[in-house]
Each structure stands twice: as structure tokens, then as C-alpha cells.
Structure 1
Amino acid sequence: MVSCFQLFVTLGMFIAYCINYGTESIHNTSSWRITMGIGFVWAGVLAFGVLFLPESPRHVFRKGNTELAKHTMSKLYGVSENHRVIAQEILEMRIKLQEEEAEAATTRWYDAFTAPRMLYRIILGVVLQSLQQLTGANFIFYYGNTIFRATGINNSYVTQMILGGVNFGTTFYGLYVVEHYGRRLSLMVGAAWMFICFMIFASIGHFSLDRENPPNTPSSGTAMIVFACFFITGFATTWGPIVWAVCTELYPSRYRSTANSISTLVNWLWNFLISFFTPFITSAIDFRYGYVFAACNFMAIIVVYFFLCETQGRTLEEVDNMYIEHIHAWSSKKWVPPLRTMHGAKDHEQTESEPDHELHDVPPAPQS
């Protein structure tokens, strides 16, 4: 569900490219008034949609409203409110809340940095969000017109629509990848794929393309567009959606909003820096700029392998325990949380008279 955020970002980008293409031939102020005005429509949709957005189950649980938490989880999971999965997750949330209450009566803003292994995870989230921008995706998206005008394409707005369509279409597969191949493997394979694509893209642009007169090397221009599409496919199916999912899974509920906002802030900071400095850098080193992004993609493989634990199929409480217990990232996929082990033993002893899909002895609601 978090990865759907990235899906609709790519949809917005694709629509924006189409609008830009449609207003290209307008040679008056309407060319920018139309594009800016349409933006208000989407803002209105967002404002209206937020009215129907439910609160986080963990947020309302911590406020003492267990029934609302169960109701929201029931809708999200597509099961009844007394389903054993919901009962087990409520139990995990209660245990974690009791542990936190035993540690401190109040939550101070700086506790997000001093709590067990939180500084480590905040830095990891910041690095992951930084690397998502440093993959080079926005270099291509923001400056696609400029890049492909240099390759001899007559109408670079058309090229942008092609790249935007590839980005949007392949993100659908990213929603499948994030849940079926695990976070760690998907991110490492995606980074390796983008590393290869940028190495080839930058090499063709610097050594093969005639930058003074691009039409003299049409095959080089075509190859650059092809590898740009290959790169976007790798980004849209891995680092585009999965990083957002991972960064929401890294932190416990108590510090989640603070820590996640910090990593997101850094994402937008790098977004700004890339958009601001790219024209100056490309004018100095041309397409060799791609080697910088290739190096960042290679670094991303190392970071994920050594520092990011596998969070697929785990609750926030389980992920929190995994980092507190210093589980090695490369062996985290095989880690079994103690609570699941306990429930596994209980399931084994379960009688036929007790249905497997429900847990009747639901723990009591927390006291407000």
C-alpha cells in the first residue's frame, strides 16, 4: 500500500508530460497558466480524499480505542475483526506499548535519537532515501528534454512521454516485486541493474555520441534512449516504490512519524540539489555525470546487503525487535520472532474444536 504512493507519483508525472506536450504549441501565457491551473485540480482531489483517510491502527490503539484499530485492520486485511491475525497483531502492539510505558512515562522529541538502535535506523533511513535520489532517476526525468535534445531527437516532449509511460507502467510490476521477492533482494538487484544501465548510458554519451552535431550519430542517440528506458524499468520496479515501504517499516510506532519525516526531508533535499546543480555539472563534464550515479548505485548494493534487515511479512513490532537484538542484515530473512514461535507451538497443540482461523481469547483493551 505504501508503494502505491510511488505508483501515483509516476501517474502524475506521466500526466504532466502529456499536458506539457499538449501546451507546447501555445505561444502565449496560456501555455503555463493551463499547466499550473490543472495542478489545483489534483490538490482538490487530495484535500477531499484525506477526509476519508482512516487513522493508523497503532495510533488509535495507543489512544485506547482498540475496537477502531481492529476495525481498520479488518478492512485493510480483508478478514473479520476476530481473525487470529488481527488478535495476534493487537497482542504484539500491546506488548510493545507496555514495554515503552515501562521505559518512560512521556515521549520527548529527542527520544527518537536516543532510544535503542534508533539513531542507527534514522541514519539508515536517511541513507536509503538519499540513495533513492542518487540512483539518477530524477536526472533523467527532470532533464529528459535537454538530454534527448542533445541526442538529436526532434521533439523531446514525445521522448518524455515515452519515458513517463515506461515509468508508470513498470511501477505496477514493482507492487508485485515488493511483496514476492523481498525488500533486500529486490533493492540489490535493482541497484545492480541501474548501475549497468548508467555505465552504458554515460559511456555512449561521452565516447560515442557526437555532442556537437548529434544527428551524425543517430544509433548512439537511440541506444541512449533504450538504456534510459531500461534504467527506468529497474528504478520503477525496485528503488522507486520499495524504499518508501522500507522507510515506513524501519521504525517503531512511538518514533515513526519523527524518524520517517527526517528521512523524507533528506529525500527532498537531494531532489532539490540534483535539480539545481545538474545543469552546471553536465555543462562541465557532459554525460560523464552518469558515472556519478553509477557509483551511487554500486554503493546502494553494499548498504542494503550489510545494513538493511529483511522486513517483508513482518509487523512493526517484529522489525523493532530485530534491530534491537542486532540481527545481522544478511541473516535477517531467517530470523523467527519469539512470539511467532510461541504461537506456532500453540497452533500445533490446537484441538479440532477450536477453528484455526480465529483466536477467541482476544486480550483485553488497554486502559486509557
Structure 2
Amino acid sequence: MALFYVQGLPIGAVAIMLALLASMGGFIFGYDTGQISDIVLMPDFLVRFGSCGTPGVASTCSFSDVREGLIVALLSIGTLVGALAGAPTADFLGRRYAMSVECFVFVVGVIIQISSEHVWQQFAVGRFISGLGVGSLSAAVPMYQAETAPPQIRGTLTATYQLFITFGILVAYCISIGTRDIPSSGSWRIVVGIGILWALILGIGILFMPESPRWLAAHDRLDDAQASIARTRGIPASEASDHYVIRREVEEIRSNVLYEKNISAGWIDCFKVENKTLYRTLLGMSLQSLQQLTGANYFFYYGATVFLSVGIADSFVTQIILGAVNFFCTFGGMYIMERFGRRRPLIIGGLWQAAWLFIFASAAISTDPATNPGMGKLMIVSACMFIWGYAMTWAPGVWILIGETFPTRTRAKQGSISTAANWLWNFLIAFFTPFIIKSISYKYGYIFASCNLLGAFVVYFFLYESSDLSLESVNMMYIDPDCKPWTSRNWAPPGFASRQDLIDQSRAAEAHKPLASGALEETRIEKRSSKNSSEEV
């Protein structure tokens, strides 16, 4: 039975459950990202893996820029490789089984990390192996969510991936502040080891969710695809074949699969000009790269170190503040991306983020923030306002777009290539930040601010508006020669006058089906449909 209705169409509880469960992949990503910022400052970790002037005395221990960069950034190298491996894995095993295997790889990496004694290279290699799992999940999860979620709430459900990334970061900060005073290796081993729990939740739980209907259809399992759609819509399997919404979605998927079935889809196909495939590959890579170049991970990876250097007494607490802002504002981001589409939030977000990074950098270089508490506070406020804008626009928006921009036959591979670009810049920022800060200090913020302006430019001139459309309709929009990015908000599939007409006709058709909300809801929808028809006449 449908849990609720959106635009007059049924949404089942399973659609919400699978989005939340799959988003544990994002939680793992965020948890691994957030933990390292605090771990590299823990006394036991410094004594074991740092270079010490007096053996065993943490205050005399430190990391060289190269060592710290590798410990932090090797996760990103693993995720880069994992993201590329995620596509063939997800295509071969199916989206669900691929996620289970990737969780196992992550657990192996965690075990290697927590078993490290004094060899920092072992810990770094463990992060690399964990990164293989995280990277593969970052390619598989948004794709699975986009392929399985009903179009009417696809943006919100796909955005839960980013929400869980922020939640993972925040939880890592909170656990770290709780364990930092443990005198033994438990201070960091507990933080790292708890990651196994998150992987078990996802790796086992996802097996109880429906498989992607588009993957099933591509493997000649249309009956299973129909059953999968019915589960996410909350429609009994016995009624699925006679239900308007289910029949329409199955037919759309079937037609698209038949069209693409005899077309080979190797990696090289992702770079072919036909049907704007190359265009979309480059667009996906650009958006993922620019998401990293917003500067968000500068704060997540090195925030504790940054705020310690400006005289903040407890940089761990500052990290929790940033993490909390990031997490709670992502709820707003889920609403914004569903209510206002994809293009406008990303454009406004890029401008907003650039403005606050200019303020952050200017405050830092105008005077020594370590001796000027006012400037230090302004930097924290600027960082929070930047994170506020990022969490509500670029953070969820890019992951949503990666799931819904590409055609079915190359979606997994294009998603992997795009995500790999994200992880490449993730590594570059994580590894080179200590060197760059040593050279230009907080002027680094001006570089990130400029990249945010570039992001707004790219979105305006190259990104098509994909909200409210099925994945198959998104593909049709991109290959329509008469549709331009800045006019794409008004585009609709053949047979519909506009995007709103598509929504209204779906409501009107569904109004003739029994609704959980009863006859009153059915009458309301029919009246609205009649009113719209009169206005058009």
C-alpha cells in the first residue's frame, strides 16, 4: 500500500527505506572523511606514527607534510580506483550485490588500520584499501537510488546520500571528541574500528531491498523490473500489471532498453559525440571536480588544524560546529533541490560560497588571527556560512545529477568516470593542502572562491534541468537539438505542452485509481485537472 502521494502519484515505504539504507554508503564515506582530521592530532597516534624529538612524548611529535598528506590522502587514491571499478562491478553483479562486496572490501581496510602498531605505512595502506570500497560505493549508490526512486521524489531520495555523508562526518567528529582523552591507542582505534558496524548495516541490509528495475530490464527480467517498481510505489504485485503508473514506467524502461540493447557500451562509448554522450561525460566530470574545488573538504580534512592555528582553544569543538551546520543544512538542501530544481540552486550556491570564502581569506590575511580573536571568530562564521550554502546546494545537487544525467547503457561507466574525477581532486586537495598553506597561507581561500564562481558559470551554460522527469525523458531532453540548458526548465517529453503539463496529466490519470487518502483526494485532483484544462482553453 502506498505510504503517501506526491503530485497525485503513489510512493511506497520501500522507496524511502531503500534510499536511506543505500545512503549508508554515503555515511561510510563521510565517517572516513571526518575521522582523520581529529585522529592526526591525537597524542597516541602522534607517538606511534609521527617523528618525535623525545620518544614517547606527544608534545615533541609531529608529521612531515609528506607523511601527513599520504595518511590523509591515500584514502582518496583508493576511492579513485574504486570508483572506476564500481561500474563493471555494478553492471556484472547488480547494484545490490555490488554494494555488499564493496562493504566487505571496506571492512578489510579497517582491520588493516586498527591492527597497525608503529608503521604508518600500514595505516595508510589500510586507508587505501578502505578507499577502494568507499569509491565503489560512491559510484554504485547514487546510481542505484536514481534508477529505483520514483521520479517525483528522486531528487530528495538521491540527496539522502549527501545527507548521510554529512551525518557520517558529524558522527566521526562526535566519537573523536569522546575518545580523544583515552591515553592508549583506543583513542583512535575505536574511532576507526566502529566503521565496521556501518559497513555491516549496508552490506547485509541492502540484500533485502529491490534490485534496480533498469538493471533488471537490461538483463531481460521485465517481470522482476515490474515487481521492483511496484514495491517502491507501494502497489501490490497482483495489481501491478493493471496499474497506470506501473505500466507507463515499465513501458518507458522497456522501450529504452530495446533501443539500447544492440548498441555496445564499452568505456570508449562514454566519449562518443553521438547523443551528447561525450558532452554529458565531461559535464559530469566537471561538476564532480568543481564540487571538490568548492573548498568544502579543505575544512573537513584540515579544519581542526586550521582553527588550532588561529588560536581556537578547542579545535575539536569547532569541527563539531562545522559538522553540525553541514548536517542540518543538508535537510534544507533536500527540499531546495526538489522544490527549485537543479540549476538555480547550484548557480546561487556557487555565488554565495564564493562570497564567504573571499571574506574568510581576507579576514585571515588582513591581520594575524592567532593574536586577533575577532578575526578568528569572523573566520569561523565565514566557514559556517560557506558550509551552510554548500550543504544546501552543491553538496546534494551534484550527487543527484550524477544519478540522473546519463543514458542507461553507459550510466554506470559515466557515473564511475565522473566520480573518479571527484576523488582525483579529493586526493590532490588532501595531499597538497599542507604544502600550499605553507606557501600562500590563507590566500588559498581566494583560489576556492574563484572555483565557486567557475562552477556557477558551468551550471548556467551547460547543465540541463532534469527535475520531475523520468531518467528516459532526461535522455530525450539532452539529445533534443531545440533544447538549450537555459531553456531546459520548460522542456517536456513529446505529448506534453510543458513540464507542468506532464505533472498535471500524471495527476489526472492517477486520480482514476483508488487513493489511500480516499474520495476527497480523488475529487480534489479531478477538480484541479478540470481547472487547468479550462485555463488552457
TM-score, with length taken from structure 1: 0.88
Contact conserved, 1:128 with 1:243, CA < 8 A, in 2? yes
> Aligned AA for 2:487?
S
> Aligned AA for 2:465?
E
CA–CA distance in 2 between the matches of 1:184 and 1:43? 33
CA–CA distance in 1 between the matches of 2:385 and 2:231? 37
Alignment partner, residue 229 of structure 2:
73
Match of 2:480 among 325, 332, 346: 325
Q: Within the alignment, does 1:174 sit opposite 2:336 as a pair?
A: no
Deviates most, 53-62 or 162-171 = 53-62
The superposition leaves residues 69-104 of structure 1 with CA deviations (integer Å, 9 ceiling, x where unpaired) of 223223334456344233222222222223224xx3
Structure 1 unaligned runs (5+)?
359-368
1:11-90 to 2 correspondences below 5 Å:
11-78=167-234, 81=240, 82-90=242-250
CA–CA distance in 2 between the matches of 1:277 and 1:105? 42
Q: Within the alignment, does 1:127 sit opposite 2:286 as a pair?
A: yes
Q: Within the alignment, does 1:95 sit opposite 2:250 as a pair?
A: no
CA–CA distance in 2 between the matches of 1:292 and 1:266? 19
Higher relative contact order (CA 8 A, sep 6+): 1
Q: Within the alignment, does 1:112 sit opposite 2:303 as a pair?
A: no
Contact conserved, 2:222 with 2:254, CA < 8 A, in 1? no
Q: CA deviation at 1:152?
A: 1.1
Alignment partner, residue 410 of structure 2:
255
> Aligned AA for 1:312?
S
Alignment partner, residue 491 of structure 2:
335
Q: Secondary structure at the match of 2:174?
A: helix
Q: Within the alignment, does 1:286 sit opposite 2:441 as a pair?
A: yes
Alignment partner, residue 421 of structure 2:
266
TM-score, with length taken from structure 2: 0.61
Q: CA deviation at 1:268?
A: 1.0
Contact conserved, 2:244 with 2:510, CA < 8 A, in 1? no
CA–CA distance in 2 between the matches of 1:191 and 1:266? 19
CA–CA distance in 1 between the matches of 2:455 and 2:263? 39
Contact conserved, 1:57 with 1:73, CA < 8 A, in 2? yes
Alignment partner, residue 364 of structure 1:
none
Contact conserved, 2:280 with 2:405, CA < 8 A, in 1? yes
CA–CA distance in 1 between the matches of 2:233 and 2:438? 51
CA–CA distance in 2 between the matches of 1:77 and 1:296? 40
Q: Within the alignment, does 1:225 sit opposite 2:380 as a pair?
A: yes
The superposition leaves residues 102-159 of structure 1 with CA deviations (integer Å, 9 ceiling, x where unpaired) of xx35443422322421111000000000000000000011111111112211110011
Alignment partner, residue 363 of structure 1:
none
Q: Once superposed, what is the RMSD of the aligned Cα atoms? A: 2.3
Deviates most, 58-67 or 277-286 = 58-67
> Aligned AA for 2:434?
P
CA–CA distance in 2 between the matches of 1:39 and 1:107? 36
> Aligned AA for 2:383?
A
> Aligned AA for 1:86?
I
Structure 2 unaligned runs (5+)?
1-156, 514-537
> Aligned AA for 1:204?
A
Contact conserved, 2:213 with 2:226, CA < 8 A, in 1? yes
Match of 2:458 among 285, 300, 303: 303
Alignment partner, residue 362 of structure 1:
none
The superposition leaves residues 274-304 of structure 1 with CA deviations (integer Å, 9 ceiling, x where unpaired) of 0100011011111110000000000001100
Deviates most, 62-71 or 232-241 = 62-71
